[in-house]
Amino acid sequence: MKLLLDSTRCQGYGLCHEPAPELIDLDDFGYARILAASVPPGGEDAAAAAVAACPNSALKLVK
C-alpha cells in the first residue's frame, strides 16, 4: 500500500501528521511531506486516519 500526496491540494493545516507521524512530516509552514511512500505493515490504520484527517483530500492510499 502506498501513501500519496497531492501537494497542490495541501493547505498546510497539518492535521494529517498527528495520526501518522512516522509517515508524514510537516514543513515550517505546516505543509505535508511524505516520509515513507510505502506504508509499512501495521501502519495501514495510521495512514487511513491521516487520509481521513485531511480536509482538502490531499492524501490518498493506493494498493
What the chain holds in terms of domains, given with CATH numbers, is 2-62 (3.30.70.20)
CB atoms closer than 10 angstroms to residue 5: 19
What is the model's pLDDT at position 37? Answer: 77
pLDDT tens per residue, range 14-55 = 999 999 999 999 999 999 999 987 999 999 999 999 999 999
Q: Please indicate, yes or no, whether the overall pTM of this predicted structure exceeds 0.85.
A: yes
CB of 48 closer than 8 Å to CB of 23: no
